[in-house]
Structure formats: structure tokens, C-alpha cells
Structure 1
Amino acid sequence: MLELLFLLLPVAAAYGWFFGRNSLRQEELKNKANVAKNLSSGLNFLLTDQEDKAIEQLLQLLDIEAATIDTYLALANLFRRKGDWDKAIRIHEKLHQLKLPKVQAQQIQLELAKDYFSAGLYDRAESLLRKLVDSDPLQETALKQLFAIFVVTHDWHKAVEFAPQVDKTDSRSLRIALANMRCEDQKKPMDVMALRILSQKYPQAIRPRLQLARQLLAEQLLADAAVAFKSVLTQKPQWAADILPELQRCQLPEDEWYPLLSQLVHKNKNITATMFLCDWLVQTGSPAAGEQLLLEKLQQQPNIRLFQRLLQVRQLNQPAQMEALQAIDGLVRAYLDTKILYSCRNCGFKTRQQYWLCPSCQQWETVEPLSGIDGR
């Protein structure tokens, strides 16, 4: 009988394991059914525009099922895009309280910072982002979001704190932003030496070099100013419309001025340079050559400003028609006075005023002189 008892023990153990496993499976199925029920209820609230009830229902699920984090992130981002920042914040704050893997937790922290930024809670957003700037996967994104806060709050000096982190990234836009915010910081105005250092450290940005050139020109250091102006033109020939009038004041010798203008005209097809070259030909006693240059360029690239300059040169060459040409010139001038001068290459924002920071897309150094039929 005792031997039979020992034989029955494995059977009893197997029986217990089977029913225990079955009980766990039943409990798991029950939990999944509850999750599905609550999720269905939450979605139904969303569909019937009862968003507050929907959020309460869905947030309860976080304690039951943390594997659906991506779904909650998508939902919170949807609320943020709609402008429902408080709802996005509630979801992200609840997610932020969960014990999650580091990468996932940092992503939620970044999303929560974006919510705070959208809601105008800049100090909270800055506090979260400062913890992410040394995180390799999110460093560049966190820095860009931080810089967006500094732009809104005009805390330009804070950007300088993050120069080491910016230098570790490959982001050209961050370097340009940092250089521009340093130029904006009126608490620490820069002299010629500081501008030289800044322009050498961040050659991607043109503002420090242009500011350096203008400072040198103001101090009558004409040769150094000319070098700085020409370096900007080499990198950004489209800025000739703003730079050439100032560069002309540097009194370049003719053997430097003419080749510079010629390159901008023939290689870069710059409108302002064409007008300057025409003026140089007229001043050196070749008004016919100046008129011929304008005619050739108008055939290659029609432009209202070149046409206006042609009218002015014709007045010199044909005094008998001066009255009629002056009347046409006046009409063209009135037309051009209404036209935009600058356009953002990033978002297309158009303006008659030059901005270092685009008022529309908030990008640095994207607003440039306009090209085309009305361009310069």
C-alpha cells in the first residue's frame, strides 16, 4: 500500500501543476479582458468627444498594462498638436512616473518638456531638458529645444553654457544658433577680438564675420574690413545686395574691385553685382559697355531692377529721351517700392526687413536677399 502511495505522488503533483497553471491562465485572460474592456471604453469616450473621461479611463490602464507606451505617446502627441497641452501633460506625467527602461524614460521626459514648452511653462521644460543634454541619443534634440526656450525668453547668455555639448554634435544649425545668440547678448558686447574668435570658432555662421567687418569699417580699419566682407561674400554671394555698398566704402583698388564684381556677375549671376559693375563701367568712361552688359544680362535673366538701371544708363546715352525715360523710371521705382526684399529659404516667409531669426520658423540665418525677377 505504501508503494502505491509513492506511485500516486507524481500524479498528484502533475494534477496540482496543471490546475495551478490553468488558474494562472484564467487570471491572465481575465486581466486581458479587463484591459480590452477599459481600452474599448476609453476609445468610445474619445469618439463621443468626452475627452476628459477618456483620459481618466486610459490612464487607469497604465497601472495594468505598461506595454502599450507607444500608444499613449501617440495619443499625448495628438493632444499636443491639437493644442490640448493640459491633456498631453497629464498623460506624459503619468508615463514619467512609471519604472521604464532608461531610453524609454528619457524619451518620455523629452516629450513632457515639449508639452511644458507648448504650454508656456518654460522653467519646467528647461529643468527637464538640462538633464538630457548629456544623453547621446537625445542630445541634439534636447539642445535644440533648450535653445528654442532661450529664444522665447531672450536668455541669450544661457546658450553659452552649452557650448561644449554643441561642439560634440554634428549639427550645423546648433552652431549657427549659438553664434547668433552670442551676438544677441547685449550684456556682454563683443569687441573686434571677441568677434574674431567667435567667427573663427563658428565659421558656419555669417553674422559674427559680418558684424566684425562692420566694426572694423566703423574703426576705419579698411583693409581688414574688406577681408572680412569678402569672406562673407565667398560663403554667401547672395548677400552681395547688402554687403557691396559697405564693401565699396573700404576703397578697394580697381585691380581687386573689378575681378570681385566680375566673379559675382558671371559665376554667381548676382543682380546687385551686375548693377555695380555697370556703374563702374560708366564711371570709367564706358557707358556704352555698361548698357551692353545690362542688355546681355537681361536676356539671360529677366529682372526689374536691371531694367530700371538700363533706363538710367539710357538717360546718359540718349539725353533727348530723358523726359520719357524718367517717367518710366518713376513707375518702375514705385513698383519696386512695394516688393519684398528678403525670403526665408526654410519656410518661405517674405519681408522687406532683414531678420537674423526668421519670425515664422524660428531658424537662424535663413532669411536672405530675394532672387528672381524682382530680386536683388
Structure 2
Amino acid sequence: MLELLFLLLPIAAAYGWFYGRNSLRREELKGKAHVAKNLSSGLNFLLTDQEDKAIEQLLQLLDIEAATIDTYLALANLFRRRGDWDKAIRIHEKLHHLKLPKTQAQQIQLELANDYFSAGLYDRAEKLLTELVQAEQLREKTLKLLFTLFIATHEWHKAVSFSHDVDKTDSKSLRIAIANMRCLDQQKPLDAFSLRLLSQQYPQAIRPKFELAQMLLKQQLPEEAAVAFKAVLQQKPQWAAEILPGLAQCQLPSAEWYQLLSQLAHKNKNITATIFLADWLVQTGSPAAGEQLLLEKLQQKPNIRLFQRLLQLRQITEPEHRAALHSVEQLVNAYLETKILFSCRNCGFKTRQTYWLCPSCQQWETVEPLSGIDGR
């Protein structure tokens, strides 16, 4: 009898294990059915435009099923795109309080900061973003959103404090942004020495070089100003329309000035440089050569501004037709006064004045002089 009892023990243990396993499986299936029921109910609320009830129903599932985080993130982002920031915030705040893996928790924190920024809660957004800057995988995205926030509040001095974090990234746009915001920081105005250092630290940006050149010109240091102006031209020849008037005041040697204008006019096909070169030829006693240059460029590629300057030259060389030519010039001038001068290469924003920061897409140094038939 005792031997029989020992034989029955393994069978009893196996039965207990089997029954317990089935019990756990039943509980798991029951839980999943509850989740599915609540999820279905939440979706029905969404479909019937009862969004508040839908959010309450779906948020209840977070405590039961944290594996569906991506679904909630997608839903919150949908609300944010629609402008329902309060709903997005509620979802992201609920997710933010869950115990999740570090990477996932940081991503949710970034999304919540984005919600706060979109809703105008800048202080809350700044606090979350400042904490996230040290997260290597999200550093670039965090800094871009943080800088967008500082642009909205004009707190340039706060942006400057993140210079070292910008240097840890490979982002060209962030480097250009920090250079521009340092130029705007009134708490620490930049002198010529500081602008030189800033130009060397962030060579991608042209604003420090441009402001350095203007400052040196005002300080009556034309040779040093010319170096800064030429550095901008070398980097951005399309900016010749903005640079050449200042560079002309630096009184470069005649041969150097001619060589610079020739390169910009012929190699870079710059309109303003062509006009300056034609004027130089006229001033050095070769009006016919200046007129011929304009004619050749117009034949290669029509441009209204080259035609305008040709009309002005013809009034000098053909005084008998001055009245008629002047009338045509006035019509051309009226036409050009209506034309845009700058366009953002990033978003296409068009304007007649220059901006270091595009008013449309909020990108730095993307608004550039236009080319083409009306370009400069």
C-alpha cells in the first residue's frame, strides 16, 4: 500500500502542474479578452466622435497592457497634429508615469515636451528638454526643439549655454543656429575679437563673418574688413549682391578687384558682379567694353537687371536717344520694384528683404538672394 502511494505522488504532482497551467492560461485569456473589450470600446468612442470618453477608456488599458505603447504614441501624435494638445498631453503624461525601459521613457518625454511647446507651455517644455539633452540618441532632436523654443521666446542667452552640447553633435544646422543666436545675445555683445573666434568655431555660419566685416569697416579697418567680406564670398558667392557694396568701400587694389569681379561674373555667373565689372570697365576708360560685357551676358542668359544697366550705359554713349532710353528705364525700374529679392531655399518663402532667420520655416541662413531673370 505504501509503495502504491509513492507511485501516485508523481501523478498527483503532474496533475497539479497541468491544472495550474490551465488556470493561468484561463486568467491570461480572460485578461486579454478584457483588454480587447476595452480597446474595442475605446475605438467605438473614437468612431462616434466621443473623443473624451475614448481617451478615458484607452488610458485605463495602460495599467494592464504596457506593450501597446506605440499605439498610444501614434494616437497622441494624431491629436497633436490636429491641434488637440490637451488630449495629446493627457496620453503622454500617462505614458510618462509608467515604468518603462530608459530609451522608451526618454522618447515619451520628448513627445510630451513637444506637446507642451505646441500648447505654449514653454516652461514645462524647457524643463523636460533640458533634462533630455544628455541623452545621446535624442540630443540632436532635443536641441533643435529647444532652440525653436528659444526662438519663440527670444531668450538667446539660454541657447548660448548649450554650445558645448551642440559641439557633441554632427548637425550643421545646429552649429549655424548657435552662431546666429550668439550674435543676437545682448547680454554678451560681441566685439571684433569675439566675432573672429565665433567665425573660427563655427565656419559653417556666415553671419559672424558678415557682421565682423561690417564692424571692421565702421572702425575704418578696410584691409581687415576686406578679408572678412571675401571669406563670405568664398563660402557663399550667391551673396555677392549683399557683399560687393561693402567690399567696394574697402578700396582693393585695381587688379585684385578686377580679378574678384571677373571670377564671380564668369565662373559663378553672378548678376551683381557682372554689373560691378561693367561699371569698373566704364570707370577705367572702356565704356564700349562694359557695354559689350552686358550684351554678351544678356545673350547667354536674359536678366532684367543687366538690361537696366545697359539702358543706363546707352544713355551715356548715345545722348541723342537719352529721352527714349530714360522712358524705357523708368518702366524697367517700376517692374523691378515689384519683384522679390530673396527666397528661402528650405521652404520657398519669398520676400524683398533679407532675414537671417526664415519667418516661415524658422531655419537660420536659408533666405538667400534670388537668381534667374529677375535675380541679382
Shared fold, TM over 0.5: yes
Alignment-derived partner of residue 358 in structure 1 = 358
Alignment-derived partner of residue 278 in structure 1 = 278
The offset of 1:217, in angstroms, is 0.2
Letter in structure 1 aligned against 2:367 = V
SS at match of 2:67: coil
Q: Counterparts of 1:346 and 1:13 in 2: how far apart (Å)?
A: 71
The share of aligned pairs that are identical, in percent, is 79
Alignment-derived partner of residue 321 in structure 1 = 321
SS at match of 1:368: strand
1:190-269 equivalent positions in 2, closer than 5 A: 190-269=190-269
The offset of 1:149, in angstroms, is 0.9
Q: Could you give the per-residue CA deviations for residues 64-87 of structure 1, whole angstroms, max 9, x where no partner exists?
A: 100000010011011111100000
Letter in structure 2 aligned against 1:71 = T
The offset of 1:273, in angstroms, is 0.3
Q: Counterparts of 1:291 and 1:57 in 2: how far apart (Å)?
A: 78
In the alignment, is residue 173 of structure 1 matched against residue 167 of structure 2? no
Alignment-derived partner of residue 120 in structure 1 = 120
Letter in structure 2 aligned against 1:267 = K
SS at match of 2:43: helix
Q: Counterparts of 2:208 and 2:110 in 1: how far apart (Å)?
A: 32
Letter in structure 2 aligned against 1:262 = S
The offset of 1:4, in angstroms, is 1.0
The offset of 1:301, in angstroms, is 1.6
SS at match of 2:141: helix
Letter in structure 1 aligned against 2:21 = R
The offset of 1:91, in angstroms, is 0.4
Q: Counterparts of 2:90 and 2:151 in 1: how far apart (Å)?
A: 26
Q: Counterparts of 1:277 and 1:270 in 2: how far apart (Å)?
A: 11
Q: Could you give the per-residue CA deviations for residues 17-66 of structure 1, whole angstroms, max 9, x where no partner exists?
A: 11111111111111111111111111111111111011001000101100
SS at match of 2:296: helix
Alignment-derived partner of residue 375 in structure 1 = 375
Letter in structure 2 aligned against 1:139 = R
Q: Could you give the per-residue CA deviations for residues 305-363 of structure 1, whole angstroms, max 9, x where no partner exists?
A: 11111111111221111111110100000000011111100000000111100000000
The offset of 1:142, in angstroms, is 0.7
1:153-192 equivalent positions in 2, closer than 5 A: 153-192=153-192
Q: Could you give the per-residue CA deviations for residues 240-262 of structure 1, whole angstroms, max 9, x where no partner exists?
A: 00110111011111011000000
Letter in structure 2 aligned against 1:233 = L
Q: Counterparts of 1:245 and 1:112 in 2: how far apart (Å)?
A: 48
The offset of 1:136, in angstroms, is 0.9
The offset of 1:279, in angstroms, is 0.6
Letter in structure 1 aligned against 2:73 = L
Alignment-derived partner of residue 100 in structure 2 = 100
Q: Counterparts of 1:49 and 1:301 in 2: how far apart (Å)?
A: 58
Alignment-derived partner of residue 89 in structure 1 = 89
RMSD of the TM alignment (CA)? 0.7
In the alignment, is residue 42 of structure 1 matched against residue 66 of structure 2? no
Letter in structure 1 aligned against 2:59 = L
In the alignment, is residue 23 of structure 1 matched against residue 28 of structure 2? no
Q: Counterparts of 1:48 and 1:77 in 2: how far apart (Å)?
A: 20
The offset of 1:369, in angstroms, is 0.8
Q: Could you give the per-residue CA deviations for residues 146-184 of structure 1, whole angstroms, max 9, x where no partner exists?
A: 111111111100111111111111111111100100111
Q: Counterparts of 2:43 and 2:303 in 1: how far apart (Å)?
A: 58
1:123-134 equivalent positions in 2, closer than 5 A: 123-134=123-134
The offset of 1:132, in angstroms, is 1.0
Alignment-derived partner of residue 55 in structure 1 = 55
Alignment-derived partner of residue 346 in structure 1 = 346
Q: Counterparts of 2:192 and 2:26 in 1: how far apart (Å)?
A: 77
Gaps of 5+ in 2: none
Q: Bigger shift: 283-292 or 225-234?
A: 283-292
TM-score, normalised on structure 1? 0.99
Q: Could you give the per-residue CA deviations for residues 270-293 of structure 1, whole angstroms, max 9, x where no partner exists?
A: 000000001111111111111111
In the alignment, is residue 72 of structure 1 matched against residue 80 of structure 2? no
Q: Counterparts of 2:35 and 2:295 in 1: how far apart (Å)?
A: 77
Letter in structure 2 aligned against 1:66 = A
Q: Counterparts of 2:108 and 2:227 in 1: how far apart (Å)?
A: 49
Q: Counterparts of 1:208 and 1:158 in 2: how far apart (Å)?
A: 19
Q: Counterparts of 1:132 and 1:119 in 2: how far apart (Å)?
A: 19
Alignment-derived partner of residue 33 in structure 2 = 33
Q: Counterparts of 1:78 and 1:324 in 2: how far apart (Å)?
A: 63
Letter in structure 2 aligned against 1:313 = L
Letter in structure 1 aligned against 2:49 = D
Letter in structure 2 aligned against 1:34 = H
Q: How many residues align?
A: 376
TM-score, normalised on structure 2? 0.99
Q: Counterparts of 2:26 and 2:264 in 1: how far apart (Å)?
A: 79
SS at match of 1:35: helix
The offset of 1:187, in angstroms, is 2.1
